[in-house]
Amino acid sequence: MADQYDLIVLGSGPGGYVAAIRGAQLGLKTAIVERELLGGICLNWGCIPTKALLRSAEIYHYMQHASAYGLAAQGISADLDAVVKRSRGVAAQLNKGVTGLMKKNKIAVHMGEGKLTGKGKLSVTDKDGKTSELSAKHIIVATGARARDLPFAKTDGKRIWTYRHAMVPPEMPSKLLVIGSGAIGIEFASFYNDMGAEVTVVEMLDRIVPVEDSDVSAFLEKALKKQGMTIMTGAGVEKIEAGASGVKASIKGKDGKVVTGDFSHVIVAIGIVPNTETIGLETLGVKADRGFIQIDPYGRTNVDGIWAIGDCAPGPWLAHKASHEGVTAAEAIAQALGNKDVHPHPLDKANIPGCTYCHPQVASVGLTEAKAKEAGHEVKVGNFPFIGNGKAIALGEAEGFIKTVFDAKTGELLGAHMIGAEVTELIQGYTVGKQAELVETDFMNTVFPHPTLSEMMHESVLGAYGRALHI
C-alpha cells in the first residue's frame, strides 16, 4: 500500500521546504521528498554558503585596508581551506535547522529520487535502490535547477568549475577566468579577487550584470576594474583547452579579434538547466518550455493536482521567489481541499527584488529607467550618491548611489536601483513600498532615522522631484 498524504512536495529547497511547512500549518498531511540534502542547493551549495565565503573575503579586504580606519594590522594572510570549512559549517548548521523544522511541523521526510508515476502517485528510490510508493491529492514539483555547461567545455571540478566546484576549491586560483557576469559569476569574481586571484570576467552582452539598470552596470564595471579585475563585455569564449597545469582560452572580443589567454581555472556561470528530465512529467503530460514547467500565478500546471514552484518553473530564478511561490501554492491547495479561511496571494513578479553580493553590493526592484520608458511611462528619476550621506562617509563606504524611477503622472514607484554598501538590506524598503502601491509623497513624508544609509532612499525620492536636501 502506498503512503497517503494530502500534499507531497518533490524537492526541499527554499521553495519546497517552505511549501511543506505552510501546507502543514494549514492542516494538510504533508510529505517531502529529497534526493540529497534538506534545504536544497540554496542552503547547502548556493545562497547561504556563498555569503559565508563573501563575508570572509570582505573581512580580509578590510584587514588589508586597516590603515584607512586608523588601525594597523601586520602579517595578514588568508587560509582558503579554513574559509571553505567555515562556509561548509554554516551550511551544515542550516541543514540541521531545516531538519528540525520538518520534525516540528510533523512533515514526513522521504530521502531518495522521486518520480511521478501516475495521477497523484509518486515513487521514491533511496540510495540502496529500495523503492517506496507515495500518493497524494496534490503534488508540488520543486526540483530546482543546475548549472549550464558550455557545449565545448564540460566542467570537471579540476580546472573548469561550476559554482559548486568554486565553493570547495581544491586549490586557490592564481589566474581565474569567469564566464558570465550575472549574480553568480560576479559574486565569485569578487570573492576570488578579494582573496588574491587575478580575475578576468567575460560577458557576451554589452555590459556586466545586464539585468540591472545601465547606470548600475557602468558603476560596477568601473569599481571592479579599480579593484584590479579585467572586464571584457561584448565578448565570447570560443574555445577552452584544459591541461594538467592550467587552461588555455580563446576569447573573441567586441572588435571581432580572437585572443588566447592562459588561466589556472575557469568558472562557468552562463545560466541554469531545470531538473525536470527524469521526474516523470511526460507520464502525466505536464507542459514545459525548454524544461521549465509552465504554471499559472498560483503554481498550477495544466494537469490537475500537479503544481510547480521555484527554479524548475519560469524565472526569475531566485530563492525568495521560490519561497513565496511555495506559500502561494500550499495555500491554493488548502483552499482547493476545502479551507475557506485561506486566501492565497498570487505572485507579482514586478515586485521581486534582486541582490548581488559582490563588492560593492547591487540590489534592485522593478523596472530600470530604460524599461520604464520602453513601457511608455513618462518618468521622473532621482539619483543620490553615497558621498552625500554622513553614515556612508563614517563607514568608509562612500562609493555608490541610489536611483529611483517614478511615473511622472501618477507618482507610482516603477523601480529602484542601488549599488554600494549594504544595499541588499536597504532594497526591501522600496520593495514594501511597491507591494503597498505607495506613491512619491508616501516616501517623502516618511521619517528616516539619522544617521543611516537609509536616508539616501529618502533623498533619492526627493531628488526625483527636485527636492534633494544634501546634494
Per-residue pLDDT of 439-451, as tens digits, reads 999 999 999 999 9
Across 410-434, average pLDDT: 98
The answer, yes or no, to whether residue 1 has pLDDT greater than 70, is: no
Please state the CATH superfamily assignment of the domain spanning residues 3-147+273-336 in this structure.
FAD/NAD(P)-binding domain (3.50.50.60)
CATH number among 3.30.70.100, 3.20.20.80, 3.20.20.70, 3.50.50.60, domain 160-270: 3.50.50.60
Confidence (pLDDT) at 42: 85
For residue 283, with 0-12 CB atoms within 10 Å meaning exposed, 13-18 middle and 19 or more buried, which class applies?
Answer: middle
The answer, yes or no, to whether residue 338 has pLDDT greater than 80, is: yes
CATH class in words for 360-464: alpha beta
Q: Measured between alpha carbons, how far is 265 from 371 in angstroms, rounded to an integer? A: 36
CA distances from 148 to 1, 96, 245 (A): 39, 29, 24
Confidence (pLDDT) at 357: 97
Confidence (pLDDT) at 325: 98
Q: Measured between alpha carbons, how far is 143 from 311 in angstroms, rounded to an integer? A: 7
169 prior amide bond cis, ω within 30: no
Q: DSSP class of residue 447?
A: P
Confidence (pLDDT) at 45: 87
Q: What are phi and psi of 267, to 5 degrees?
A: -110, 125
Q: Measured between alpha carbons, how far is 357 from 190 in angstroms, rounded to an integer? A: 9
> Model's pTM, two decimal places?
0.95
In this predicted model, what pLDDT tens digit does every residue of 459-470 receive, in sequence order?
Answer: 999 999 999 999
Q: Measured between alpha carbons, how far is 389 from 307 in angstroms, rounded to an integer? A: 47
Query: Which residues is 416 bridged to in the sheet?
Result: 365, 404
In this predicted model, what pLDDT tens digit does every residue of 30-59 receive, in sequence order?
Answer: 999 999 999 998 888 888 999 999 999 999
Confidence (pLDDT) at 112: 97
CA atoms within 13 A on the CB side of 85: 5
In this predicted model, what pLDDT tens digit does every residue of 402-413 receive, in sequence order?
Answer: 999 999 999 999
Letter string b/e over residues 92-122, b meaning 16 or more CB atoms within 10 A of that residue's CB = eebbeebbebbeeeebbbbbbbbbbbeebbb
In this predicted model, what pLDDT tens digit does every residue of 106-153 receive, in sequence order?
Answer: 999 999 999 999 999 999 999 999 999 999 999 999 999 999 999 988
Across 234-238, average pLDDT: 96
Confidence band of 353 (pLDDT split at 50, 70, 90) = very high
Between these two residues, 46 and 212, which has the higher pLDDT value?
Answer: 212
Q: Measured between alpha carbons, how far is 418 from 422 in angstroms, rounded to an integer? A: 10
Confidence (pLDDT) at 2: 75
**What DSSP element (H or E) covers 104?**
helix 80-104
Across 202-220, average pLDDT: 98
Q: Where in the chain is the domain with CATH 3.50.50.60?
A: 3-147+273-336, 160-270
Which residues, in sequence order, are CB contacts of 260 under 8 Å at separation 6+?
248, 249, 250, 251
Across 323-345, average pLDDT: 97
Q: Measured between alpha carbons, how far is 454 from 219 in angstroms, rounded to an integer? A: 20
- Written as nine digits, the cell of 259 is 585572443
Q: Where in the chain is the domain with CATH 3.30.390.30?
A: 360-464
Which residues does the annotation mark as catalytic?
A: 450
CA distances from 303 to 277, 307, 312, 328, 334 (A): 17, 8, 16, 18, 17
**What DSSP element (H or E) covers 180?**
none
Between these two residues, 380 and 152, which has the higher pLDDT value?
Answer: 380
**Amino acid letter, residue 33:** V
The answer, yes or no, to whether residue 370 has pLDDT greater than 90, is: yes
Average pLDDT, the chain: 96
